[in-house]
Amino acid sequence: MLRIVSVLILAALIYTTGCQNDEIKINTQEGTAIYHKITAGQAKGIMDGDETFILLDVRTDGEYRERHIGGAVLIPHTEIKDRAPDELPDKETLILVYCRSGVRSAEAANLLVDMGYTTVYDFGGILDWIYETVSGAE
């Protein structure tokens, strides 16, 4: 029940941002996994809300150290398959994924869905992020 309420709240939040999103549903053994393509503004709205989420940066370590969004967890897209099971153990947690321009984040989001993660939101690249960022390792 809590999951349904959370999804409804999240859907309302996305609707109120006034931006359209693309949704791809993929059937998995555990049910239907959802991968959403959203805007940076929609991601910021989720981050500023009360929803529990993981912010996932899928770029390289060097790119991350140069500039990243505060609170982001770094798992390079080439390491998702190996590291996600240990570092992202709850497959139902909302995951917000970004990279530099949106190519690697889409690839990582699709891989996460294939791995059984049920609520994955790809907001593209940090190039489109107009909000605060930080430098160095956290």
Nearest-angstrom CA–CA distance, 26 and 63: 30
Residue 99 among the catalytic residues: yes
Q: Among 122, 129, 128, which Cα is nearest to 104's?
A: 122
Rg (the chain; Cα; Å):
14
The residue annotated as part of the active site, out of 38, 80, 94, 99, is 99
Is the distance from CB of 56 to CB of 72 less than 8 angstroms? Answer: yes
Question: Which residues carry out catalysis?
Answer: 99
